[in-house]
A and B are shown apart, each in its own frame.
Chain A
Amino acid sequence: MNVTFESIGNKLVIRINGDIDHHTCEAIRQRIDNEISKKNPKGIIFDMENVGFMDSSGIGVIIGRFKQISEKGGATSMINVKPQIRRVYEICGLQKIIGVYDSLERAVNGMA
């Protein structure tokens, strides 16, 4: 597992590499929170291209970061969401709070 970041304007792209489960989620959470406190982004975009598997542990990580960012008025979105992750996302009701976009540009611009 590793996590890399890219800043685009005042948005932070978070690229997670590997499975997101209870074993990996604590390290992922720390890496992201560290970067958020350094960059203080206006919005965050989770790039899930290299996430092969995610369970409810990942939902906890995403909702936790969503809460932080939305307190400051920012949005959280996701790109490159594979079917397994999409199903977990939908069952957990994340579509109400986190947009899924089909490209990075659309996510950066907040276009549906």
Chain B
Amino acid sequence: MNIDNVMKLEFLSKSQNESFARSVVAAFIAQLDPTIDELADVKTAVSEAVTNAIIHGYENKLGTVEIVARIMSRTVEIEITDSGKGIENIEVARQPLYTSKPELERSGMGFTVMESFMDEVEVSSVPYQGTTIKMRKTFKKL
């Protein structure tokens, strides 16, 4: 598919950047005139992935989180990358209710939310190198 538009965003892994990150992605994809629900779905999925990068990837140490968003016709592709601790077992991590941080009252539902709100979610991760979440969603025809 041809890429119609691209944006790249890089920010420090501070929790106050979570709302900034999801709002920037929402503003970028607004050019496709998604429905309110479609826009909310993408915002929520981005929030989950960025939060995971900050709390699990960097465990609240400072690093950078990178977001690349591409528009291809009515499809958005969003990649969220951290250079944090990585995920040892991706299959286990993706299971509903699995969390490595129950003491923080995490519910283990972040990946399930991403999978439900986006059409596709790919996880690639290398321990001690980092994690990339690639998600796609195709919006309804106008």
Which listed residue, B22, B47, B105, touches A61 by the CB 8 Å rule? B105
B105 and A63 within 8 A (CB): yes
**Known contacts A84-B44, A92-B113; is A22 also within 8 Å of B51 by CB?**
yes
Q: In terms of DSSP, what is the predominant structure of the interface of chain B? A: helix
Q: Is the CB of A55 within 8 A of B19?
A: no
Judge whether B105 and A64 touch: CB under 8 Å.
yes
Assess A55 versus B51: contact at CB under 8 Å? Given A60-B105, A84-B44, A92-B107: yes
Instruction: Assess the B107–A59 pair: CB atoms within 8 A.
Output: yes
Residues from chain A with a CB closer than 8 A to the CB of B19 are 19, 21, 23, 53
Whether B43 is near chain A, meaning CB under 8 Å from some CB there, is yes
What 0/1 readout, one digit per residue, does chain B (11-32) give for beta carbons within 8 Å of chain A?
A: 0000110110010000000000
- From A55, A87, A91, B47 is in contact (CB under 8 Å) with A55
B40 on the A face (CB < 8 A): yes
Q: A56-B106, A83-B37 are in contact. Are A88 and B113 (CB under 8 A)?
A: yes
Q: Is A42 an interface residue (CB 8 A)?
A: no
Asked if A57 is an interface residue, CB under 8 A from chain B, the answer is yes
Q: What residues of chain A lie closer than 8 Å to B104, measured between beta carbons?
A: 60
Query: Which residues in A have their C-beta under 8 angstroms from that of B37?
Result: 83-84, 87
- Which residues of chain A are near B51, meaning CB under 8 Å? 21-22, 55-57
Number of interface residues of A (CB under 8 A): 20
Interface contact A22-B55, CB-CB below 8 Å: yes
Shortest Cβ gap from B116 to chain A (Å): 5
Query: Are the C-beta atoms of A22 and B105 separated by less than 8 Å?
Result: no
* A56-B99 Cα distance, complex, nearest whole Å: 12
Among residues 70 to 87 in chain A, which have CB atoms less than 8 Å away from a CB atom of chain B?
83-84, 87
Q: Which residues of A contact B75 (CB under 8 A)?
A: none
* Residue positions of B touching A, CB distance < 8 A: 15-16, 18-19, 22, 36-37, 40-41, 43-44, 47-48, 51, 54-55, 104-107, 109-110, 112-113, 116-117
Inter-chain pairs besides A53-B19, A88-B113, 20 sampled, C-beta below 8 Å: A21-B18, A21-B51, A22-B15, A22-B18, A22-B55, A23-B15, A23-B18, A53-B43, A55-B48, A55-B51, A55-B113, A56-B48, A56-B110, A61-B105, A64-B105, A87-B44, A87-B116, A88-B44, A91-B109, A91-B117
Top 3 A-B pairs ranked by shortest CB distance?
A23-B15, A84-B40, A60-B105
